[in-house]
Amino acid sequence: MAKVIVVTSGKGGVGKTTSSAAIGTGLAVKGYKTVIVDFDIGLRNLDLIMGCERRVVYDFVNVINGESNLNQALIKDKRVEKLFILPASQTRDKDALTKEGVERVLNELKQEFDFIICDSPAGIEAGAMMALYFADEAIVTTNPEVSSVRDSDRILGILHSKSKRAEEGLDGVKEHLLLTRYNPERVEKGEMLSVEDVQDILAIDLLGVIPESPSVLSASNSGQPVILDIDSDAGKAYQDTIDRLLGEEIDYRFLQVRKKGILKRIFGG
Amino acid sequence: MSEQIFELKGNLFTLSVLNLYKNDIQELSKQLDEKISQAPKFFYGAPIVINLKFISDQKVNFAELKQVLVALQLNPVGVCNGSDTQNASAKENMLSVLNYSQDVKPKVAKVANSALNTSIIEKEVYLPAQVIQGTVRSGQQVYAKDRDIIVLGAVSHGAEVIADGNIHIYGALRGRAIAGAKGNIQAQIFCQKLEAELVSIDGNYWISDSLQGDLWGQAAAIQYKDDSLEITALVKG
Ligand SMILES: Nc1ncnc2c1ncn2[C@@H]1O[C@H](COP(=O)(O)OP(=O)(O)O)[C@@H](O)[C@H]1O
Ligand SMILES: [Mg+2]
């Protein structure tokens, strides 16, 4: 059965696209036929991070509008065998995505793929709602800071009440917490929330902790998902994340367990 | 051939039975009108079965009887305990002939004389608490009308729980909790961890600043006492 996974956050710039690229690539490396769908219409950058921006001819909106078929729009990755990208349009606005259109394309993708990774735009408006509406699972991407945690909490509330699964009374969307841009030194200094602090507030299962790493920037500058940089800390942390997503129990690396107390300093005023 | 679009099945329904003690349709009309006027809504459109047991030897004018009942906004659907002649005549007037299953002797005097006694008694209705499975997230609002609320999780920053009764939170209270919303000074708030943005009981509220005493971050109960909110440890001693 194909699984639709949305990478979402509420807040922008937390690492959704970086994580979508890494997770999609990681699943394909493991042998699962995977497509990453860019829902960030008008601001597309998934294709940049995947290094396929010059190969975009047709996009998601063209497929929805019937201007091209799905196979014309899907871009096959050159490095990883079973990996495909469905790019967003740069020239349309977010209203171009209709619920019926998105459902039709996702259903078509489900016939062929094992995993469908939906890279959500920021915010809680139409575009983000569209990306999460059909999801079976959600990877709630969060930075260890108060405003990001607050926005993630909000997205969790929306997943609970406004997703298709919620509306149809099915089992809820399976929620995973992915902490990104984690900096143990700053956590220790009390400048960032710890893993425990974030978990205490969001109360969902932890899927991964990705350290703040210069390898992410250099990877995206060279159009290569960071998970393929197998020696980098961020690359390794994403590999662990994939293993956990596939049901393995993997110890956490790149985070020294920090003492509690920051919550009080931040919320306690 | 097209698919059959219906099914005929038997079922049991409660119908009102009109025990007719005298074959006097004009008098019936008068008395019934009086009775119905005491509770017009109750009888409006009610299906009625006419019990002919006490007048089974008489010739009943079913057309007129039906007319009288319809004029009183009743819906005569059939007769029971009639003679063969009566049954035939009822059928001609589109009244079904029904079997009377229960043979209880009606108390003549009582039914004839007692006025239907309807009075409205106001009584507080106790509704079971509303239970929220899990955390109330930022941006969500829950209102438990005329009842308590139980949250089996936390109430996040930016979330709001409101109840006309008490509020029980089995996780942390980080958002707003408004108890006794419709006016109930007895209402209380209970939480496992007090980190609220605002608590209110019957309109008396404290914001975060006022809450940050000894019990901040602790399991706490909040009630209204001596003209002020009071915070105490959830479990004393
Ligand atoms: N683990 C990380 N370490 C360092 N920089 C990161 C990390 N994750 C993301 N970034 C940077 O953060 C910025 C926003 O990331 P992006 O994936 O585009 O976020 P979003 O899609 O949520 O808006 C980018 O410049 C990216 O390189
Ligand atoms: Mg993005």
Ligand 1 site, residue A12, Cβ cutoff 6 A: yes
What percent of chain B is modeled with pLDDT above 90? 64
| Structural domain contains residue B31 | yes
| DSSP 3-state percent helix, strand, coil across chain B (nearest 5) | 20, 30, 50
Best residue of B133, B135, B195 to probe chain A, by most A CBs closer than 10 Å = B135
Q: Which residues of A are annotated as a binding site for ATP?
A: 11-18
Here the CATH number for the domain that contains residue A140 is 3.40.50.300
A155 contacts A176 by C-beta, under 8 angstroms: no
Query: B193 - beta bridge partners?
Result: B172
Distance CA(B80)–CA(B113), nearest Å, equals 23
Q: Which residues of A are annotated as a binding site?
A: 11-18
Last residue of a domain, one of B73, B97, B121: B97
Residues B179-237 pLDDT 10s:
999 999 999 999 999 999 999 999 999 999 999 999 999 999 999 999 999 999 999 86
Domain count, chain B: 2
Task: For residue B3, count other CB atoms closer than 10 A to its CB.
Answer: 4
- pLDDT computed for residue A1 by the predictor: 80
A159 contacts A138 by C-beta, under 8 angstroms: yes
CA A161 to ligand 1 center in whole angstroms: 28
Backbone phi, psi, residue B199, to 5° = -125, 145
Q: What angle do CA A209, A212, A218 make, to 5 degrees?
A: 120
Q: Do A269 and B212 touch (CB under 8 A)?
A: yes
Q: Structural domain of residue A130, as residue ranges?
A: 3-265
Question: Do residue B137 and residue B70 come from a single domain?
Answer: no
Ligand 1 site, residue A241, Cβ cutoff 6 A: no
End-to-end CA distance of chain A: 48
| Structural domain contains residue B217 | yes
Ligand 1 site, residue A14, Cβ cutoff 6 A: yes
Question: Do residue B88 and residue B138 come from a single domain?
Answer: no
Mutate to test the pocket of ligand 1, among A216, A232, A233 (most ligand atoms within 8 A of CB): A216
Distance CA(B177)–CA(B5), nearest Å, equals 53
Q: Structural domain of residue B183, as residue ranges?
A: 130-233
Question: Do residue B135 and residue B68 come from a single domain?
Answer: no
| Structural domain contains residue B77 | yes
| Structural domain contains residue B141 | yes
pLDDT higher than threshold 50 for residue B112: no
Average pLDDT of chain A, as a whole number: 92
Domain count, chain A: 1
| Structural domain contains residue B76 | yes
Strands A34-38 and B198-201: unpaired
| Structural domain contains residue B102 | no
Backbone phi, psi, residue B220, to 5° = -140, 155
Q: Do B195 and A156 touch (CB under 8 A)?
A: no
Here the CATH number for the domain that contains residue B147 is 2.160.20.70
- DSSP tag of B54: G
The reply to whether B135 touches chain A by the CB within 8 Å rule is yes
Read off the pLDDT band of A169 (50, 70, 90): confident
Task: For residue A103, count other CB atoms closer than 10 A to its CB.
Answer: 15
pLDDT higher than threshold 70 for residue A262: no
- pLDDT computed for residue B44 by the predictor: 81
Task: For residue A158, count other CB atoms closer than 10 A to its CB.
Answer: 23
Read off the pLDDT band of B113 (50, 70, 90): very low
Q: Do A154 and B139 touch (CB under 8 A)?
A: yes
Q: Do B137 and A203 touch (CB under 8 A)?
A: no
CA A132 to ligand 1 center in whole angstroms: 20
- DSSP tag of A124: S
Question: Do residue B134 and residue B226 come from a single domain?
Answer: yes
Q: What angle do CA A197, A202, A203 make, to 5 degrees?
A: 95
Distance from CA of B208 to the nearest CA of A (A): 9
Distance CA(A247)–CA(A239), nearest Å, equals 13
pLDDT higher than threshold 70 for residue A165: yes
Look up tokens 């509303």; give the residue. B130
> A138-153 in b/e burial notation, b at 16+ Cβ within 10 A?
bbbbbbbbbebbbbbb
Question: Do residue B136 and residue B80 come from a single domain?
Answer: no
- DSSP for B133-166? -SPBPTT-EEEETTS-EEESS-B-TT-EEEESS-
Which amino acid makes up residue B27? E
| Structural domain contains residue B123 | no
**Interface ipTM:** 0.77
Read off the pLDDT band of A94 (50, 70, 90): low
Distance CA(A136)–CA(A4), nearest Å, equals 5
A/B interface, count of CB pairs below 8 Å: 48
Question: Which residues of chain A form beta strands (DSSP E)?
Answer: 3-8, 34-38, 75-76, 83-86, 115-119, 137-142, 174-182, 205-211
| Structural domain contains residue B2 | no
CA B173 to ligand 1 center in whole angstroms: 32
Q: Do A269 and B208 touch (CB under 8 A)?
A: yes
pLDDT higher than threshold 80 for residue A62: yes
Ligand 1 site, residue A233, Cβ cutoff 6 A: no
Here the CATH number for the domain that contains residue B49 is 3.30.70.260
Question: Do residue B75 and residue B150 come from a single domain?
Answer: no
